[in-house]
């Protein structure tokens, strides 16, 4: 099967399509299914151009519609809710929050100078140096986790590839070869006609 029509590749493309519309559709199962159908439209057109067995694509679409809506919504809804809340970061990590984190680090450094052994006093200093970027680290960690969850959906669909390929029979493949040969013969015949010399005395137009 061509790479463009493998279950994993199509799933990744569908998920990318859903992600572009996630905030608007994540809580609407009907909208999710409609967007999956829309995302598959270019796949159908390209698949038809290759004149491949319809049973494979039908089975792939059924597997996608049976798996993706629930699995994607399961991970996308809590992520979207976290995103809207600023991932639970105080003041959503604005300038004031970042300055406050730095201030806490400075205060910890002062206290550490009095309490901690000399070889441990560098720890609060290190925290102070990175405190400004603490919200970015928290957000980045949450986004990476979400990307990993989306990858798990793709991996799940990849496991279904062998079962999907069983939808293609030997007769289908023979039929594909026959159609390709017929198309090749038609192309060659057209080419020969185009290259044939024209007799100026021939009354035919």
Residue 118 lies in a domain: no
Residue positions counted in the chain: 205
Whole-number pLDDT of residue 135: 84
pLDDT digits (tens, 9 = 90+) for 29-56: 999 999 999 999 999 998 888 877 788 8
The predicted-structure confidence for 55-112, as pLDDT tens digits, reads as follows 888 999 999 999 999 999 999 999 999 999 988 888 777 888 888 878 887 777 777 6
Residue 82 within any structural domain of the chain: yes
Measure CA 170 to chain center: 32
In a domain, 164, yes or no: yes
Average pLDDT for 186-190 = 53
Number of independent structural domains in the chain: 1
Report if residue 144 sits inside a domain.
yes
Confirm whether 46 is domain-assigned. yes
Residue 73 is assigned to a structural domain of this protein? yes
Question: Would 196 be classed as within a structural domain?
Answer: no
Residue pair 53/168 in contact by the 8 Å Cβ criterion: yes
Q: Check if the beta carbon of residue 57 is closer than 8 Å to that of residue 47.
A: yes
Nearest Cα residue to 126 out of 153, 96, 105, 103: 105
Query: How many CB atoms neighbour CB 185 within 10 A?
Result: 10
Residue 106 lies in a domain: no
| Structural domain harbouring 13 | 3-88+139-173
Q: What is the pLDDT of residues 113-151, one digit of tens each?
A: 677 666 666 666 677 777 778 888 889 999 999 999 999
Pick from 168, 22, 21, 12: nearest CA to 81? 22
């Amino acid at each position: 099967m061509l790479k463009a029509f493998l279950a994993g590749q199509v799933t990744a493309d569908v998920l990318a399509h859903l992600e572009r519309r996630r905030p608007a559709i994540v809580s609407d199962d009907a909208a999710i299914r409609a967007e999956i159908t829309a995302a598959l439209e270019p796949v159908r057109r390209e698949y038809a151009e290759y004149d491949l067995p319809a049973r494979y694509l039908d089975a792939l679409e059924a597997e996608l519609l049976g798996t993706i809506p629930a699995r994607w919504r399961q991970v996308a809804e809590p992520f979207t809710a976290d995103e809207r809340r600023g991932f639970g970061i105080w003041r959503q990590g604005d300038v004031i929050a970042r300055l406050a984190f730095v201030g806490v680090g400075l205060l910890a450094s002062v206290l550490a100078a009095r309490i901690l052994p000399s070889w441990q006093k560098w720890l609060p200093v290190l925290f102070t140096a990175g405190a400004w970027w603490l919200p970015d680290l928290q957000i980045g960690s949450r986004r990476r986790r979400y990307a990993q969850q989306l990858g798990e959906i793709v991996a799940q669909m990849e496991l279904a590839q062998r079962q999907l390929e069983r939808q293609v029979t030997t007769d289908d493949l023979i039929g594909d070869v026959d159609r390709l040969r017929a198309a090749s013969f038609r192309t060659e015949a057209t080419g020969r006609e185009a290259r044939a010399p024209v007799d100026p005395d021939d009354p035919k137009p």
